[in-house]
Amino acid sequence: MRFTFALFSTCMAVVLTAADAAQLRSVAERAGPAVIAVRVVSSVNLTIMGQNRALDQETDAVGVVVDPSGLCVVMLNDLDPSAMFKAMLGGNPMIKIDSQLKEASYRLADGSEVPAELAIKDAELGLAVLRPKTAGTTYPALAPQAGAKIQLGDRVTAVSRAPRFVTATVLVNEILVNGAVAGPQPYAIVSQGATTSAAICNNDGQLIGVLSSKSPPAKEANKAAEMDPMAGLTSAMEAKNLVPVAIIRPADALRKLIDQAKAAPATPAVPVAPAAPATKP
């Protein structure tokens, strides 16, 4: 199978040798089939100073298929646009925002769409897992590598997809791990933006993590806004360096999330009312 892909570098000049470029092409060919475009429609309800507005928002997201059954990891912000804003706004009584996943579908390389549903979401990880509404199809998948470590100074490859208007081309991006945080839920920090998810792979094209995003605690965001109310929340947060950062959630965290998704009950079918008996004229 042939893939069209593009190379991007981050924040520093990176000179690629012929061997480097060949390595990235190899990663793209191995990981690309399991990195898919995901169409998401969310119902968003926004209330500002008592004025309410409801709308449907369609988003082109990126998902990583992590199981042949079609389980697909996506960034939670893509399914729930209100998640990041809630974290930023905290308990601000003047602004309320809520959203709900209305529909989702996988856009596959052959142009077909597969209706999907939410299996599980984890606000702490900033990730969610989708699954096809109809079982029985086998999908190209990347199994998270147990025990894979991502350390400060590592160079890893992010495999993603471009927007639809450039044909959802496979993108590969060599990125530098700028920091590593230990703890019950360890993660790595990178300078790459995190507008949507990506598979994080090693040189063999194996899945060692996924790109996610971490927002500042709500109390810190509110404190920034209170200190400079005229600047607005976003400007105040930027001034205090409280903007969301791009992080990598490691493979072991994904494996636990996948196990939970497999155990999650299927969405019950909506009962269909029986048709009324025909009446004679």
**Tens-binned pLDDT, residue by residue, of the chain (281 aa):** 334 444 444 444 456 788 889 999 999 999 999 999 999 998 888 787 778 888 888 888 999 999 999 999 999 888 887 766 665 555 566 777 788 889 999 998 888 899 999 999 998 899 999 999 999 999 999 999 999 999 999 999 999 998 877 777 899 998 999 999 999 999 999 976 656 789 999 999 999 999 998 876 655 545 544 544 444 444 444 444 456 789 999 999 999 999 999 999 876 544 444 444 544 54
d(CA 218, CA 85): 9
CA proximity to 89, closest of 46, 53, 137 = 46
To 10 degrees, the CA torsion angle through 84, 222, 124, 127? 10
- For residue 38, list its beta bridge partners: 61, 106
pLDDT at 244: 76
